[in-house]
């Protein structure tokens, strides 16, 4: 079935589905009932793209209407030198080969922040390799200096993997370490390092970094301090459908407990220049099915994000019809993680005008947000030409 007419009701789409078990999942979704793990797996096994897509779009519009969020942000990647050897990673260099990588000083990083003085960015996103010589005090000092220079810039930084290493080296508990960094200026956590939680996959692709329980405990500790965080899932490699659902289930359970997650961000495995280059990448169809099923399963996550530097901007635009309501930020060519893994976005930068045009082209409503999803500006009625010429808007 091809959905070409947006006036076809979701009830009709469910009714037309041949598979009874899928029809019953559809009924649950429209009655706002939670779907089970078995039903999640069934959607992956049997749900056609039009079926899961229409349901996900229904949920997305129920939650957010046409609103599509983005922010104005930049990244700092302090180093790509890393103690870990994740097989899917195209970015890191071991300490023994650090001359092939980069190690920024505090001043280098402050100079990156200063480059944005007077520019209307609202967030800096800090992630990178887990460097054996950069410790908790180094990063606390960096946070303090960034906040002293620009107090209104929201600092979202360090994956649970990076934090786990920092806290262990500092011999602090998770709670102590998190409080220490929070007081130094850390406001939110990004979602990275989650990969796939199930140990039979995790040990094959990233055996030496923090396990599922450790990752979740760090996010829980952040939530307890009133901080918010995001969660990712690296998909499309050697995991099976039930591993994806198991991953989402663990996140959904923690979210029931804390409510501290903002956004779920599926991350597509890209296969260039890494130890898993023999594994083929997922198709765009499978990517869109994944977004849709994630929207249906993660019923307590307010937002679903398509990270465009990984997916390419055109596919990120397409995902707006499959449950996605956020396409991350302007980025300003400040991250190398996915370009090094072979993404078509080799220099990830989008102006606000480009971001707005991308969203408007598919008849959605572009809304700039801050890290915590406070709305900053609705661009629906602002002319693209005006955005291009006004430095405060672009």
Name the site residues for ligand MET (rule: CB under 6 A).
89, 91, 127-130, 159, 161-162, 192-193, 209, 337
| Nearest distance from C-beta of residue 188 to ligand MET, angstroms | 15
Q: How far is CA 288 from CA 192, 222, 245, 262, in A?
A: 20, 31, 16, 21
Please say which residue, 208 or 256, places its beta carbon nearer to ligand MET: 208
Please say which residue, 164 or 332, places its beta carbon nearer to ligand MET: 164
Q: Whole-angstrom distance between the N-terminal and C-terminal Cα of the chain?
A: 41
Question: What kind and span of H or E run contains 202?
Answer: helix 199-205
Give the closest residue to 219 by CA, choosing from 252, 178, 256. 178
What is d(CA 304, CA 264) in angstroms, rounded to the nearest whole number? 5
What is d(CA 266, CA 291) in angstroms, rounded to the nearest whole number? 7
| Nearest distance from C-beta of residue 221 to ligand MET, angstroms | 16
Please say which residue, 214 or 302, places its beta carbon nearer to ligand MET: 214
DSSP E strands: which ranges in the chain?
67-71, 73-76, 123-126, 154-157, 188-189, 228-235, 261-268, 303-304, 326-329, 365-369, 375-378
Please say which residue, 169 or 377, places its beta carbon nearer to ligand MET: 169
| Nearest distance from C-beta of residue 219 to ligand MET, angstroms | 12
What is d(CA 308, CA 317) in angstroms, rounded to the nearest whole number? 9
Name the residue whose CB lies closest to ligand MET: 193
Decide: 159 and 337 in contact? Cβ < 8 Å.
Answer: no
| Nearest distance from C-beta of residue 132 to ligand MET, angstroms | 13
| Nearest distance from C-beta of residue 333 to ligand MET, angstroms | 16
**Binding-site residue ranges for [4Fe-4S] cluster:** 82, 86, 89
What is d(CA 109, CA 126) in angstroms, rounded to the nearest whole number? 10
**Binding-site residue ranges:** 82, 86, 89
Please say which residue, 54 or 210, places its beta carbon nearer to ligand MET: 210
């Amino acid at each position: 079935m091809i959905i070409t007419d947006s006036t076809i009701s979701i009830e009709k789409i469910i009714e037309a589905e041949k598979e009874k078990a899928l029809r019953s999942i559809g009924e649950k979704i429209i009655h706002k009932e939670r779907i089970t793990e078995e039903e999640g797996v069934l959607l992956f096994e049997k749900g056609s793209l039009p079926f899961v897509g229409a349901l996900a779009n229904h949920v997305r519009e129920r939650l957010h209407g046409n609103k599509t969020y983005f922010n104005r942000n930049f990244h700092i990647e302090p180093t790509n030198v890393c103690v870990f050897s994740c097989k899917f990673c195209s970015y890191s260099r071991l300490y023994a080969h650090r001359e092939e990588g980069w190690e920024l000083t505090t001043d280098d990083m402050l100079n990156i922040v200063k480059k944005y003085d007077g520019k209307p960015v609202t967030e800096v996103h800090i992630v990178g390799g887990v460097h054996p010589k950069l410790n908790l005090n180094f990063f606390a000092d960096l946070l303090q200096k960034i906040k002293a220079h620009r107090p209104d810039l929201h600092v979202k930084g360090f994956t649970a993997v990076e934090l786990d290493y920092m806290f262990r080296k500092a011999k602090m508990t998770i709670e102590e370490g998190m409080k220490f960094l929070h007081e130094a200026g850390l406001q939110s956590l990004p979602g990275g390092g989650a990969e796939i939680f199930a140990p039979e996959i995790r040990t094959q692709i990233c055996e030496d970094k923090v396990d599922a329980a450790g990752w979740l405990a760090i996010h829980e500790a952040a939530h307890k301090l009133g901080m918010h965080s995001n969660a990712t899932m690296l998909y499309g490699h050697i995991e099976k459908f039930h591993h994806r659902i198991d991953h989402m289930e663990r996140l959904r359970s923690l979210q029931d407990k804390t409510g501290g997650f903002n956004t779920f961000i599926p991350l597509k495995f890209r296969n260039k220049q890494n130890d898993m280059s023999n594994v083929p990448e997922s198709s765009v169809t499978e990517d869109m099915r994944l977004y849709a099923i994630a929207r249906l399963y993660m019923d307590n996550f307010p937002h679903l994000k398509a990270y465009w530097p990984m997916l390419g901007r055109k596919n990120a635009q397409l995902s707006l019809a499959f449950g996605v309501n956020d396409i991350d930020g302007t980025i300003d060519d400040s991250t190398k993680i996915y370009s090094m893994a072979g993404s078509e976005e080799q220099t990830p930068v989008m102006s606000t005008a480009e971001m707005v045009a991308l969203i408007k082209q598919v008849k959605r409503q572009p809304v700039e947000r801050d890290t915590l999803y406070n709305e900053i500006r609705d661009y629906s009625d602002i002319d693209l030409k005006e955005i291009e010429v006004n430095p405060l808007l672009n």
